[in-house]
Amino acid sequence: MFRQIFLFTAALLVLAAPPAVAETESTFEVDAYVALDAYQGLVEEHLAGTLRAIRTLAVTSEAQTGEWTAVKPLLDRLSDELTTDATVWFALPDGSYASTASGQSTETLSDRAYFPDLLAGEDVEGSLVVSKSTGHRSIIVATPVARDGKVVAMIGVSLRARLVSQFVTEMTDLPDNLTFYALDSDGQAAIHRNPELMFQFPSDLGDPSLKAATETILSQPRGRIGYRFQETDRVGVFNKSEATGWHFVLVQIED
């Protein structure tokens, strides 16, 4: 892990360094893509690790009882181990649920866009919500609990988007002239180095060139963009994640 972090930081320093006279645009792109892929991999592994953890819990006898009281100790332990979670929750097919943050809820999850996928036996990784339990802007990672081929419950983690962004910043030691963000398929910022811009739609902010850049990011699997935002010119690279469907972006803020 330390070696991966070191290589990532080194790539960022290359990207952020003042260009030599002989440096070409292609050299910039190579260095930028190395950093982008490392940053994307860091986030994807964090989400995937969370998914692996709850998949493991989903096959336990406690989870398969479908009883909150039976599975609660396991979920409490997971909640304590995760540094970026808002809450861990346990839901039933009717949408009723309980969470480690507030216990049994009077709310329902049946109206969440991701809920039909869980009912169909599919995992959820990267859906954006404002948590009903905590009010935090959250990233959902969830898995169904199946018994005899039938979904009897769901286990989910509402990762705090702010803490995921903070995790990336701390792990990469980004220089001040670099920023990162990731857009979901609707163009909403799932994570962002600037917490004030999380869950915003970049297409609705600033210069028209930012809107055009956002359209490019959402329509192409990988590429390079330039735009103007907050009175500064910016250039960056982007890549679509097969795992989450997010579009990861790494941007250099130019003087």
pLDDT score of 30: 61
**Mean pLDDT over each residue of the chain, to the nearest integer:** 89
- Give domain status of residue 90, yes or no: yes
Together in a domain, 218 and 183: yes
Q: What is the pLDDT of residues 205-238, one digit of tens each?
A: 878 999 999 999 999 999 999 999 989 999 999 9
- Give domain status of residue 57, yes or no: no
- Give domain status of residue 13, yes or no: yes
**Cα–Cα distance between 163 and 166 in angstroms, integer?**
5
Q: What is the pLDDT of residues 45-80, one digit of tens each?
A: 999 999 999 999 999 999 999 999 999 999 999 999
Q: What is the rounded average pLDDT of the residues 158-176?
A: 91
- Give domain status of residue 6, yes or no: yes
Distance spanning both ends of the chain, measured CA to CA = 33
How confident is residue 25, by pLDDT bands cut at 50, 70 and 90? very low
CA 137, chain centre distance (Å): 11
**Cα–Cα distance between 192 and 53 in angstroms, integer?**
25
Biggest CA-to-CA distance, the chain: 66
Together in a domain, 100 and 132: yes
Query: How many separate domains does the chain show?
Result: 2
- Give domain status of residue 55, yes or no: no
How confident is residue 2, by pLDDT bands cut at 50, 70 and 90? very low
Containing structural domain, residue 90: 64-160
Together in a domain, 30 and 79: no
Total-model pTM = 0.88
